[in-house]
């Protein structure tokens, strides 16, 4: 089918999913939501969002995984993966914090071989590990994700109408919207039903798995950390890993099973993968994405590249997206560098920094001057406006400019007081 006809038919579903995590058939409650048949069948396997940042005292890494269902499953494993290294995208060590739950919702978590907890982790104080290197909370919390769904949908409707009206799509996949169309798109994004922007997700509750872990447990490869999360189906025999060299009172860790869902940065997998394909094709590709081993992630850069041009055109200019200057002489490869970066779907954190104020701070510093420290931990705290920052980078190459008018959640969350997310 003609690329323009594909874009016209599916732009609204794609862009809403990419910018807000909204599927064509339902409104999201997280930045990654119901993206494959597997997680649609079991919302307890559906990761909503991943948050990761360093503590202000420089001692701990804080991790949060929200689950779309209001409970955890006793048939799944919930895992934080922390890769570490001395250089951006060159990690050399990995530590996994793996948790499972029984039918009574008692949690059991391992921080590599360094610490272990078991018991009721649903009270706000959580559970402290036997070796005091780890603290875990697992229970209902207010979901910190926020967005203006209605406004963005209205803006995307304007863009879809322009495509239907004959807007030209260039060789890289960027539509040529006129100035008036672009102004109207961006203006509608910032309002709800023509009035002030409102948070569609106010009051939403999710199950939250929250971990605070000593940094020296997870930074063995270096101070640059790359974090991602997965939900896995345990092996049939739940066999443990190889025995330890010493006895430390910690039960043997179970072998990690087959991944069925994964998340790194907000919106990448769900929003940029296969939006121009028919639903069945897109669903199969996302299943492959969720189950792929990290060594296979680069194969998805081509899929992502095919989507980025649509975002680039929303401000009426093609070629001003983040990272596009890598291939100025080859327009068909305009988005290859950014697609390659996003395919490595891990949330980057500079553990040398104790201030965490800017989403994608590590990636942005590396893009501006490779090898330069960001001076900010980056990562993602519960207060970051990740939707506006990410969408603005895809639209105009800056972290502002394509805003949805909602700048914070309706509840106050913490970056210092465990378990960080507000009570439901």
Residue 69 lies in a domain: yes
Residue 21 lies in a domain: yes
Q: Which of 58-72, 208-222, 260-274 has the lowest mean pLDDT?
A: 260-274
Give the whole-angstrom CA distance, residue 363 versus residue 359: 9
Is the pLDDT confidence value at 146 over 90?
Answer: yes
Same domain, residue pair 134 and 69: yes
**Cβ neighbours for 165, distance < 8 A, ≥ 6 positions apart:** none
- Please state, rounded to an integer, the average pLDDT across all residues of the chain: 88
Question: pLDDT by residue (tens digit) across 56-69?
Answer: 999 999 999 999 99
Same domain, residue pair 36 and 11: no
Domain range enclosing 214: 31-143+209-265
Same domain, residue pair 93 and 19: no
Question: pLDDT by residue (tens digit) across 308-324?
Answer: 998 999 999 999 999 98
Domain end (from 222, 238, 265) = 265
Q: Which helix (H) or strand (E) holds 233?
A: strand 224-233
8 A C-beta contact, residue 360 and residue 390: yes
Q: Model pTM greater than 0.85? A: yes
Same domain, residue pair 123 and 152: no
pLDDT at position 239, please? Answer: 66
Q: Which of 87-91, 132-136, 226-230, 369-373 has the lowest mean pLDDT?
A: 369-373
The bridge status of strand 47-54 relative to strand 224-233 is unpaired
CA-to-CA separations, 20 to 15, 149, 201, 230, in angstroms, rounded: 8, 7, 11, 20
* Average pLDDT for 399-414: 96
pLDDT at position 144, please? Answer: 96
* Average pLDDT for 206-212: 97
Instruction: Give the number of domains in the chain.
Output: 2
* Average pLDDT for 218-233: 98
Give the whole-angstrom CA distance, residue 229 versus residue 65: 7
Same domain, residue pair 292 and 257: no
Is the pLDDT confidence value at 92 over 80?
Answer: yes
Residue 281 confidence class, pLDDT cut points 50, 70, 90: confident
Q: Is the peptide bond before 26 cis (omega within 30 degrees of 0)?
A: no
Residue 41 lies in a domain: yes
Nearest to 136 by CA among 72, 231, 62: 62
Question: pLDDT by residue (tens digit) across 354-368?
Answer: 999 999 999 999 999
Residue with tokens 């121009």: 276
Give the whole-angstrom CA distance, residue 214 versus residue 219: 9
pLDDT at position 245, please? Answer: 45
- The larger pLDDT score, comparing residue 307 to residue 142, is at 142
Same domain, residue pair 181 and 61: no
Domain end (from 226, 250, 265) = 265
Residue 316 lies in a domain: yes
Same domain, residue pair 226 and 332: no
Same domain, residue pair 126 and 175: no
Transcribe 178-199 into DSSP letters: -HHHHHHHHHHHTEETTEE---
| Burial class of residue 242, CB neighbours in 10 A (0-12, 13-18, 19+) | exposed
Residue 372 lies in a domain: no
Is the pLDDT confidence value at 341 over 60?
Answer: yes
Same domain, residue pair 261 and 132: yes
Same domain, residue pair 10 and 47: no
Same domain, residue pair 223 and 275: no
pLDDT at position 241, please? Answer: 66
Residue 16 lies in a domain: yes
Transcribe 85-119 into DSSP letters: EEETTEEEEEEEEEEEE-TT--EEEEETTTEEEEE
Residue 15 lies in a domain: yes
Residue 416 lies in a domain: no
Same domain, residue pair 280 and 340: yes
Give the whole-angstrom CA distance, residue 286 versus residue 284: 5
């Amino acid at each position: 089918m003609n690329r323009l006809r594909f874009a016209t038919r599916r732009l609204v579903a794609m862009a809403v999913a990419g910018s807000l995590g909204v599927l064509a058939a339902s409104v999201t409650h997280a930045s990654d939501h119901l993206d494959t048949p597997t997680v649609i069948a079991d919302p307890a396997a559906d990761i909503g969002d991943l948050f990761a940042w360093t503590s202000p005292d420089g001692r701990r890494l804080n991790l949060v995984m929200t689950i779309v269902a209001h409970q955890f499953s006793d048939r799944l494993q919930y895992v934080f993966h922390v890769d570490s290294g001395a250089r951006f995208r060159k990690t050399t060590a990995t530590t996994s914090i793996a948790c499972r739950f029984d039918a009574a919702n008692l949690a059991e978590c391992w921080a590599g071989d360094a610490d272990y907890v078991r018991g009721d982790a649903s009270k706000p104080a959580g559970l402290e590990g036997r070796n005091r290197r780890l603290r875990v909370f697992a229970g209902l919390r207010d979901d910190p994700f926020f967005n203006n769904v209605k406004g963005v949908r209205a803006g995307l409707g304007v863009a879809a109408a322009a495509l239907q009206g004959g807007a030209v799509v260039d060789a890289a996949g960027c539509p040529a919207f006129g100035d008036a169309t672009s102004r109207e798109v961006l203006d509608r994004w910032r309002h709800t039903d023509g009035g002030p922007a409102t948070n569609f997700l106010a009051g939403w509750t999710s199950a939250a798995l929250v971990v605070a872990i000593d940094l020296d447990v997870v930074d063995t490869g270096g101070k640059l950390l790359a974090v991602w999360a997965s939900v896995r189906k345990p092996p049939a025999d739940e066999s443990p890993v190889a025995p330890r060299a010493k006895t430390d009172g910690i039960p043997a860790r179970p072998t990690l099973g087959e991944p069925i869902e994964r998340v790194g940065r907000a919106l990448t997998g769900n929003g940029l993968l296969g939006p121009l394909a028919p639903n069945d094709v897109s669903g199969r590709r996302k299943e492959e994405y969720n189950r792929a081993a990290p060594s296979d992630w680069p194969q998805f850069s081509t899929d992502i590249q095919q989507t980025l041009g649509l975002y680039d055109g929303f401000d009426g200019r093609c070629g001003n997206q983040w990272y596009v200057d890598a291939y100025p002489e080859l327009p068909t490869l305009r988005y290859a560098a950014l697609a390659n970066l996003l395919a490595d779907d891990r949330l980057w954190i500079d553990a040398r920094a104790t201030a965490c104020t800017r989403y994608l701070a590590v990636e942005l510093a590396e893009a501006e001057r490779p090898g330069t420290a960001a001076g900010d931990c980056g990562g993602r705290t519960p207060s970051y406006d990740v939707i506006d920052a990410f969408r603005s980078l895809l639209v105009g190459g800056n972290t502002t400019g394509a805003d949805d008018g909602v700048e914070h959640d309706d509840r106050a969350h913490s970056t210092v007081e465990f378990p960080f997310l507000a009570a439901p």
